[in-house]
Amino acid sequence: MIIRMSVFISNLTRFGLTRQGAILGKQIQSIISLQSVDRTLKTSSPCQNKVYEMRQYVIKPDGVQEYKKLTQELFYLRTRASKLVGFWFTEIGSLLNKTVHLWEYDSLMHRQEVRDALANDSEWQNNYIANLVRLVQEQQNCTMYMPQWYSEVKSPEKQSGGVYELMTYNMVMGGPVIWGKKLKSSIEAHVRLGYADLIGVWYTDIGDHNSVEVLWRYNNLTCREEGRERAHNDAVVVNKVRDNLDNVTHHTSCLMLPSTWSPMQ
């Protein structure tokens, strides 16, 4: 049975500041909250965005140089099939000898079509994959989408010499409806200081749920050091970050350097 809002309000007035009135007040608040959740879900569906796949490979230590040479020479066989956003090697803060590459697709179906085509591409399979498999120690991937408030990947203003930082947030259960607003405020507080380019923000769709990836670019390591110092002494940043941490269960970051074949430098 559906109880109308007007009935709640009428009863709340009749009961006044009694225990029953307090209960009815909470019921009203619950309905309002559910309506807000419904509106948020309608405007933040991942179906409205492109699909991004993040792949992370750990390369065997004795195979790193061979891997770089192989990929430098033949990775065009892969990039002709779909859009590569960026390709990096981790430098500090993660497993060593790890690569991170980010791919953009129009949809999950588009991704599947690309994967099917690559599986039947004899040149890709025989010349690249056949040599890759003995060099790779571990592989993992996830698919992600960008929130409406940051719905496009930003191209860096400078096209060379960049240092990238990938920040990963594991959030409380419940999704962006629960933690999205405070996360956005925290990120925007950093952007406001202008010491780094915010390349993109992604919410995981298939993979570790309630995870967020935030990618920053600095002109060099000194810019990062000086910028972080400014952020740590900025009252707005400190307060927004503290608010966001109410919803964060785990937070990591790693510094990455772009490969020579990466579109982002």
The answer to whether position 105 is within a domain reads yes
The answer to whether position 74 is within a domain reads yes
Asked whether the beta carbons of 234 and 58 are under 8 A apart, the reply is: no
The answer to whether position 265 is within a domain reads no
- Are 32 and 158 within one domain? no
**Which of 54 and 4 is assigned the larger pLDDT?**
54
Instruction: List the one residue out of 203, 101, 71 whose CA is nearest residue 146.
Output: 203
Average pLDDT, the chain: 87
The answer to whether position 264 is within a domain reads no
The answer to whether position 153 is within a domain reads yes
Asked whether the beta carbons of 156 and 264 are under 8 A apart, the reply is: yes
Please state, in angstroms and rounded to a whole number, the distance separating the CA atoms of residues 200 and 21: 47
Q: Is a pLDDT exceeding 80 seen at residue 261?
A: yes
- Are 23 and 12 within one domain? yes
Residue-wise pLDDT tens digits, 234-253: 999 999 999 999 999 999 99
Residue given tokens 């592989």 in the structure block: 139
Residue 106: how many CB atoms within 10 A of its CB? Answer: 13
* H or E element at residue 129: none
- Are 29 and 114 within one domain? no
- For 229, the domain range is 46-258
Among the residues of the chain, which ranges form H helices? Answer: 5-15, 19-43, 64-74, 76-79, 108-119, 122-124, 130-132, 176-193, 221-232, 235-245
Asked whether the beta carbons of 111 and 145 are under 8 A apart, the reply is: no
The answer to whether position 27 is within a domain reads yes
- Are 143 and 92 within one domain? yes
227: tokens are 């910028």
Please state, in angstroms and rounded to a whole number, the distance separating the CA atoms of residues 107 and 116: 14
pLDDT at 67: 98
Residue-wise pLDDT tens digits, 128-173: 999 999 999 999 999 999 999 999 999 887 778 899 999 999 999 9
pLDDT at 49: 74
Q: What is the CATH number of the domain that holds 50?
A: 3.30.70.100
- Are 56 and 168 within one domain? yes
- Are 35 and 52 within one domain? no
Residue-wise pLDDT tens digits, 16-55: 444 554 444 444 444 334 344 344 334 444 445 799 999 9
The answer to whether position 263 is within a domain reads no
- Are 36 and 60 within one domain? no
- Are 18 and 76 within one domain? no
Asked whether the beta carbons of 265 and 218 are under 8 A apart, the reply is: no
- Are 241 and 139 within one domain? yes
32: tokens are 């309002």
- Are 29 and 71 within one domain? no
Q: Return phi, psi of residue 187, to 5°.
A: -65, -45
Instruction: List the one residue out of 91, 92, 90 whose CA is nearest residue 100.
Output: 90
pLDDT at 48: 57
| Structural domain count, the chain | 2
The answer to whether position 53 is within a domain reads yes
Asked whether the beta carbons of 107 and 71 are under 8 A apart, the reply is: no
Q: Is a pLDDT exceeding 90 seen at residue 207?
A: yes
- Are 21 and 91 within one domain? no
Please state, in angstroms and rounded to a whole number, the distance separating the CA atoms of residues 107 and 23: 45
Residue-wise pLDDT tens digits, 164-177: 999 999 999 999 99
- Are 18 and 128 within one domain? no
